[in-house]
Amino acid sequence: MYVCLCEAVTDKQIRNVARKYQVTSLKGLRQILPVGRECGKCIRQTREILDEELALL
């Protein structure tokens, strides 16, 4: 499902990047994926997905 409609980023992309690059912060994620660069409405959900991935580490 799309999390960031402005940049067409999906939850799967976020999870894959978090796992592959061991991303631990939103800042780190945004260096790889263009999530949240426009309206910012997706930031909260992106953080939640990232937190879920971190909990699995």
Closer CB to ligand FES, residue 19 or residue 41? 41
Backbone φ and ψ of 27, nearest 5°: -60, -45
* 36 makes contact with ligand FES (CB under 6 A): yes
Q: Of 57, 53, 22, whose CA–CA distance to 3 is shortest?
A: 53
* 4 makes contact with ligand FES (CB under 6 A): yes
* 54 makes contact with ligand FES (CB under 6 A): no
Alpha carbon of residue 24 to chain centroid? 10
Shortest approach of ligand FES to residue 41 CB, angstroms?
A: 5
